Amino acid sequence: MSLLPFAGLPVHTPRRFVPAQIDLGEWSQIAPLYDALAARAPQATTLAAFEQWILDGGELAAALDEEGAKRYIAMTCHTDSPEAEAAYLHFVEKIEPELKPRRFALAQLFLAHPFRAQLPKDRYGVLDRDTALTVKTFRPENVALETEDSKLGNEYNKLVGSLTVKFRDEEKTLPAMGRYQEEPDRALREETWKLVAERRLTEADKFDDLMDGLVKLRHQMALNAGFANYRDFAFKLRGRFDYTPADCERFHDSIATEVMPVLRDLQARRREQLGVDSLRPWDLGVDALNRPPLKPFTDTAEMERGSQVIFDRLDPELARGFATMRDLRLLDLANRKGKAPGGYQSTLTESRLPFIFMNAVGLQRDVETILHEAGHAFHALATRNEDLYAYRGAPIEFCEVASMAMELLAAPHLDVFYPEAEAKRARRVHLEGIVGVFPWIATVDAFQHWLYTHPEHTRLERRAAWLALMDRFGGTVDWTGFESIRANLWHRQLHIFLYPFYYVEYGIAQLGALQVWANSRRDQPQALAAYKAGLALGGSRPLPELFAAAGCRFDFSSATLRPLTELVRAELAQLA
């Protein structure tokens, strides 16, 4: 893949089963490997042979997943490249549909194997549980629908990646315009906010067309699998063994009870400090005392160097991991036209190395993002020596503990990017962001609950459902004159389009991250050691045990949220 930012990555473990020379984008070369695995299953007549069969299947899965990841990375780094798009779509359309029934067949062979019962439960228990779920939820008729889902997701990426505005005779991407929301000049903030928001609004019908198609596809997948709605199916697909839709609804209620009073207080304080009659959407990103925007770095090379210093201070092992990523060019951090929106960390599952994608433009949130994605990267590096492919990843609810906790653990070291007074200000901005993100998570999650339990809804009903949630969780922001923009804010949240029901995990994980942070305030070395111990478990334990290993409770009720909210409120008072 010539469009990848990296090349020639070191091999972690030489292939034993998959040929060293093979085109993993050509199904005729892949199919014989699945045939061989299927044929070998009944020949595995000892426990050791059965375990080797499991490892060989994992080796093949890792090689294919890395191939898919590389194509996705190339495509998101270059949404304007026909070559990258064609390679990605070829894998999505020609390889992934063939993989799903083959993996299902191997899962059936695993479950029926006579030595399955002899596998040590403490080692294979989670793998066994997850494999049984794969068989339970797989439907051959959904394979084509999942391909269409991926293609619509790619259309969303292309649409968002293509959006630019003309500002002062210069074409700018929408992420690049974000910096103006930190400018003290209120008229400039309003002008640029309107420019971006109205540009998105011109594409509202396209966003809604995509959502209509996705809801229809996903509802049919649920019906095919014997579920009444996609929400209930999605909870099974995501392996949510430890909580239910009702638990999520109670979490929404807890956020309304515990977090919303803090958010409203912060908004009232901001309005008073700004000296405005009402808080408008373009008043939310600026410093409330009208100080110039925080400018942590001038280019991404500076951001890399500063992040390295932070990790050097925190922990030698983490520092070595980040240095390795820099050396191997596993970072694509700068914003540019033709790049997909957002940021992510992708694990190259055969190399067992992480890659970080960002759209940095020189804002404080870019520092938070690199720290966040580095947390994910450290999680991937912590499991490099895990032989079971399935355990080198963890449930998202804990993956996000890795990333969000890293933001908080690194916060005392923001003086790397700022003088102390501005570092203090940056820490306050970060904590205010945590307060603000809980209601947004509740809004996005509750909206998806509604979307998929009302699959026949009209666009007007969808708009009303979104606005009701904005009324509940939006606080005291004044949207007068911009009601249509408010009604379509969900268009900017890529998870709704690309990763259905992948968002509440951020809220659950934030509770874990805040607990890691609270622990670090009592005993920083012990808290960091527990954090790393949790990461090292990968996905080998159920969620409650992963949380416990990191020194946290897996609970997202008011009983857990209230003391953490009080801690954040107290810290904000000290940073005032």
Cβ(414)–Cβ(426) below 8 Å:
yes
Does residue 386 carry a pLDDT above 60? yes
**pLDDT of 293-305, one tens digit each?**
889 999 999 999 9
What rounded mean pLDDT belongs to the chain? 95
Per the structure block, which two tokens stand in for 501? Answer: 């029901």
Per the structure block, which two tokens stand in for 232? Answer: 């209930």
Poorest-confidence range of 96-105, 271-280, 438-447? 96-105
| Predicted TM-score of the model (pTM) | 0.88
**pLDDT of 208:** 97
**pLDDT of 148-169, one tens digit each?**
999 999 899 999 989 999 999 9
Residue 355's DSSP bridge partners are 346
**pLDDT of 410-421, one tens digit each?**
999 999 999 999
- Vertex 368 angle, CA 366 and 374, to 5°: 100
**pLDDT of 553:** 95
pLDDT > 90 in the chain, percent:
93
**pLDDT of 100:** 87
**pLDDT of 452-475, one tens digit each?**
999 999 999 999 999 999 999 999
Mean pLDDT along residues 286-315: 94
Does residue 2 carry a pLDDT above 80? no
Per the structure block, which two tokens stand in for 548? Answer: 């416990």
- DSSP secondary structure letter of residue 354: E
Which residues have a Cβ under 8 Å from the Cβ of 45 and sit 6 or more positions away?
none
565 pLDDT tier (thresholds 50, 70, 90): very high
What's the one-letter identity of residue 86? Answer: A
Which residues have a Cβ under 8 Å from the Cβ of 18 and sit 6 or more positions away?
33, 59, 60, 63
| Residue 168 φ/ψ, nearest 5 degrees | 55, 50
**pLDDT of 476-510, one tens digit each?**
999 999 999 999 999 999 999 999 998 999 999 99
Residue 280 to residues 187, 268, 464: CA-CA distances in angstroms? 12, 12, 21
**pLDDT of 75-109, one tens digit each?**
999 999 999 999 999 999 999 999 988 999 999 99
Mean pLDDT along residues 2-14: 91
Q: How many CB atoms lie within 10 A of CB 246?
A: 8
Residue-by-residue DSSP string for 118-153: GS-HHHHHHHHHHHHHHHHH--TTHHHHHHHHHHHH
| Residue 25 φ/ψ, nearest 5 degrees | -105, 10
Mean pLDDT along residues 304-327: 98
Cβ(465)–Cβ(450) below 8 Å:
yes
Which residues have a Cβ under 8 Å from the Cβ of 302 and sit 6 or more positions away?
none
Q: Classify the C-alpha dihedral 182-506-483-164 as positive or negative.
A: positive
**pLDDT of 10-60, one tens digit each?**
989 999 999 999 999 999 999 999 999 999 999 999 999 999 999 999 999
**pLDDT of 522-547, one tens digit each?**
999 999 999 999 999 999 999 999 99
Own/partner long-range contacts of 175-180 (Cβ < 8 Å, ≥24 apart): 175/335, 175/341, 175/359, 175/361, 176/335, 176/361, 178/285, 178/361, 178/363, 178/365, 179/293, 179/361, 179/362, 179/363
**pLDDT of 133:** 93
**pLDDT of 176:** 87
**pLDDT of 341:** 82
**pLDDT of 576:** 78
| Residue 296 φ/ψ, nearest 5 degrees | -70, -25
131 pLDDT tier (thresholds 50, 70, 90): very high
